[in-house]
């Protein structure tokens, strides 16, 4: 990861702005902020601690509010909105595109979003309530409604004259959609087609008829994987009656793709996706405590298993010393399998038809891992503790636990997905519990049987 | 994660194709494959085990080769290419866009890519060698060279007539770039501008002059974060003399964004980014063994620390039972911090200017975590083992280890980045080693001192 020029520039800017704030150079900071693009102001806010955030926010021009809010992550945005007067918030919301407006509203507490909605003008409120009605994480939620539609019988010449009259085309438009009299989607024409077509040609001659449309209630993750697979820049959204209701553009989908990929990593470490790196200490401590609580229960369960072998442990202290090796190796191997299967599911590679084969494969890897690491650990222990039998006991436990790890790592996500539980969230805790319990039982159990 | 329609359809298709292959219905499978879009054929290959892959590949029409190869992940693609005759591979490569061609070649072993290059025709070989010379992971590597350029003095009318004559515009073109006589980039015109502009207007009146260009040697991750921040669909690429040399489109950047976000998750579990879920058992076992080897060394180090306290452990078996709780909690808390800081760095939120503050924050969270979990574990142990003193000892160790975990989790990635080591790759092993060693020392050390 080479240190990027851009990152350095921003890092310097943050430092300068902080210094200027400390020196009370309010006017200068206000001036710098007004020249920065909204995405950089958002990054500056996200990279600052919460006290500095409020100070900076007060120096931003109100006409920048909506752009900056759009670019902020949910946690940081909500923190700022909580300090805004409903009327000013409503003004900022009204300026947003439907997709950003809805995303912002949906993250707010019910009372705050109701206040904001009732301060908005009639037309914008209806627009927001319509989109909110599609339900969070659906295509309807992330779509825009500023779509330009064409009729099949119109010629290119007429369209070009209409567009010149209209003067501007919504951002991110790469395709025009063709609809009939009842708004049914019947085809699409790329913007570039209009440039190369002869003026007298009719739309129906130009349009592609078999273009794929996104149903308004499709889950956003599914929308994202369609965009990724087919390299789309935008896609039409249709309702149940095949009527065109909006379009989704790649810039919103990029966020979903990145968040989807990050989700697994954050969940596996017991973090909230939207966790704000610069949130206050108490808030962060609270957010992370659930996971640590679960981890404590797991650790106590492992201790309870060891407790069953107290007599053995009190006779052979060497077992206490080596007791963590087998569980640790099982946890590491199982986590590799778990991570791979979770990613395979997210990419759409793992499905019912090949799950059984995959479990078999990971079982086989568990077996080979078992052989390799059992032999290695047996040699190490036999040499270190000068005890061949002890080496044999730990080798056997390693063998058993590696197979259990491969099996659990592959089966857990498949089973959890069937039960509609997110494997990234709970998979690694359950896996570690299994590899701990199996590892300790196998090691201390075999030792009790053979060494005493 | 609701089970998607698309995923189900594909799952059924895979099953049907597998059955058809088993029944020897070669002709039918060939027919199905020829009607599938190349991205679906690629997904089918990625979702199949390696033996089935070769069978399917032999049934694909040679004119589909280049499209399917483009859509495959590196590991799977290389496996297939290794079975191809150089001449046929060269034919497929010649049909690719420059960016895909270069990506494919760079992943191949030197001998195979040289063979392929020398089987290609002169013009394509030069195109490939030019792009390869920019070096892997740079803007030059992922750019395309099929850019349409405009001159400032030309009118919209002339351009439209030229485009109609030319007949087609390269895929993903949303902006035309304006260059002067010496190919210097001087501005850009969105495609949609040309549609709304009056025919007599000159390009110099339409163009935006302050458009940002990507230097040809910029790292692809930096390119991706620019795209994400500014919601670009494409960007011009310039060489050191400010000459336009190509353009980068969002579809290539989407892959980089997803892979970048996945990279951390895969690395933290000790997996290769490109690890193929359906690779043969032996290959997978080998790929994962480095990480397990490192983990074994870590586990042995923890055991060696416990070994220092053998006398204590042999007198009090209860210590052996509780010995894993403090390291486990430290590892979980430290991993939360580590993951958050690694993500913060990837998003550009964490830099030199706020790193010290962040370390301070995580130290404070470590302290609060210490207080909370020390009190809780002390109560549990005092009740379970009916030993107040033992509860006090484990509470103290928990306190020490939680602070160490917060400090290590925040400092490690900052330090590793300074040393140009990828924190996602080695961070969690080093962290776990620290929390294991500190946790065991604190627990068994205090116990030796106070309980014996």
Please state, in angstroms and rounded to a whole number, the distance separating the CA atoms of residues B343 and B145. 33
- The reported pLDDT for the residue numbered A97 is 84
pLDDT over 90 (residue A49): no
Nearest-CA distance from B112 to chain A in Å?
28
Interchain contact, B195 vs A196, CB within 8 Å? no
- The reported pLDDT for the residue numbered B7 is 61
Q: Which CATH number fits domain B5-137: 3.40.50.1820, 1.10.1200.10, 1.10.10.10, 1.25.60.10?
A: 1.25.60.10
pLDDT over 50 (residue A396): yes
Tell me the range of A131-140, B305-314, B343-352 where mean pLDDT is highest: B305-314
Q: What are phi and psi of A249, to 5 degrees?
A: -110, 155
CB A317 within 8 A of CB B321: no
Q: What is the mean pLDDT of chain A?
A: 89
- The domain locations on chain B are 5-137, 149-248, 281-451
pLDDT over 70 (residue A7): no
Please state, in angstroms and rounded to a whole number, the distance separating the CA atoms of residues A439 and A205. 69
Domain covering B149-248 in this structure, CATH number: 3.10.580.10
- The reported pLDDT for the residue numbered A353 is 77
Give the H or E element holding residue B387: none
Which CATH superfamily, name and number, covers A5-138?
MgtE N-terminal domain-like (1.25.60.10)
**Nearest one of A143, A63, A64 to A102, comparing CA atoms:** A143
- The reported pLDDT for the residue numbered B6 is 61
CB B427 within 8 A of CB B385: no
As a whole number, mean pLDDT of residues A292-320 equals: 94
pLDDT over 50 (residue A302): yes
Of A233, A277, A343, which has the smallest distance from its Cβ to B233's Cβ? A233
- The reported pLDDT for the residue numbered B1 is 33
CB atoms inside a 10 Å sphere around CB B58: 10
Please state, in angstroms and rounded to a whole number, the distance separating the CA atoms of residues A19 and A11. 12
- The set of residues, in sequence order, having a beta carbon less than 8 Å from that of A84 and lying 6+ positions away, is A92
Of B18, B320, B350, which has the smallest distance from its Cβ to A306's Cβ? B320
Task: Tell me what ipTM this predicted complex has.
Answer: 0.83
| Fold match flag (B149-248 vs B281-451) | no
Interchain contact, B192 vs A169, CB within 8 Å? yes
pLDDT over 80 (residue A10): no
Taking CB atoms and an 8 Å cut-off, how many pairs form between chains A and B? Answer: 378
Which of B172, B336, B385, B398 is the mutation pick for testing A, counting most A CBs within 10 A? B336
Which residue of B lies nearest to A164 if distances are taken between CA atoms? B196
CB A216 within 8 A of CB A111: no
Give the H or E element holding residue B247: strand B244-249
Alpha carbon dihedral B432, B438, B442, B448, in 10-degree steps, equals: 100
**Nearest one of B61, B112, B104 to B83, comparing CA atoms:** B112
pLDDT over 60 (residue A60): yes
Domain covering B281-451 in this structure, CATH number: 1.10.357.20
pLDDT over 90 (residue A230): no
Which of A135, A249, A336 is the mutation pick for testing B, counting most B CBs within 10 A? A336
Q: Which CATH number fits domain A149-249: 3.10.580.10, 2.60.40.790, 3.40.50.150, 3.20.20.80?
A: 3.10.580.10
């Amino acid at each position: 990861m080479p240190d990027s020029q851009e990152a350095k520039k921003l890092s310097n800017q943050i430092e300068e702005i902080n210094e200027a704030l400390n020196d009370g150079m309010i006017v200068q900071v206000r001036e710098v902020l007004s020249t920065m693009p909204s995405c950089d102001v958002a990054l500056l806010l996200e990279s600052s601690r919460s006290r500095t955030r409020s100070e900076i926010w007060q120096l931003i021009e109100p006409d920048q509010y909506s752009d900056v809010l759009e670019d902020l992550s949910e946690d940081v945005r909500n923190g700022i909105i909580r300090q805004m007067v409903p009327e000013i918030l409503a003004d900022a919301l009204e300026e947003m595109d439907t997709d950003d407006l809805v995303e912002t509203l949906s993250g707010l507490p019910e009372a705050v979003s109701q206040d904001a909605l009732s301060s908005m003008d009639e037309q914008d409120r209806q627009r927001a309530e319509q989109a909110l009605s599609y339900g969070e994480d659906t295509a309807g939620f992330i779509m825009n409604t500023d779509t330009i539609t064409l009729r099949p019988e119109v010629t290119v010449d007429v369209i070009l004259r209409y567009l010149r009259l209209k003067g501007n085309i919504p951002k991110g438009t790469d395709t025009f959609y063709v609809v009939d009299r009842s708004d049914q989607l019947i085809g699409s024409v790329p913007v570039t087609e209009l440039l190369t077509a002869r003026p007298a040609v009719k739309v129906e001659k130009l349009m592609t008829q078999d273009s794929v449309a996104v149903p308004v209630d499709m889950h956003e993750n599914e929308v994202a994987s369609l965009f990724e697979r087919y390299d789309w820049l935008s896609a039409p959204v249709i309702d149940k009656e095949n009527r065109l209701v909006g379009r989704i553009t790649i810039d919103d989908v990029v966020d979903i793709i990145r968040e989807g990929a990050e989700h697994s990593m954050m969940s596996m470490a017991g973090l909230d996706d939207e966790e704000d790196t610069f949130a206050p200490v108490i808030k962060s401590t609270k957010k992370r405590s659930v996971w640590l609580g679960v981890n404590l229960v797991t650790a106590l369960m492992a201790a309870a298993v060891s407790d069953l072998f107290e007599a053995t442990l009190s006779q052979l202290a060497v077992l206490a010393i080596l007791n963590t090796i087998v569980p640790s190796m099982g946890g590491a191997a199982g986590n590799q399998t778990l991570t791979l299967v979770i990613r395979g599911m997210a990419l759409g590679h793992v499905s019912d038809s090949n799950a059984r084969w995959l479990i078999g494969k990971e079982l086989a890897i568990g077996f080979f891992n078992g052989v390799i690491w059992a032999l290695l650990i047996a040699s190490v222990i036999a040499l270190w503790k000068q005890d061949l039998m002890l080496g044999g006991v730990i080798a056997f436990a390693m063998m058993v636990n590696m197979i259990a790890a491969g099996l659990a790592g592959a089966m857990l996500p498949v089973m959890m997905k069937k039960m509609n539980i997110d494997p990234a969230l709970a998979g690694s805790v359950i896996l570690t519990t299994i590899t701990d319990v199996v590892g300790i039982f196998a090691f201390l159990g075999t030792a009790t049987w053979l060494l005493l």
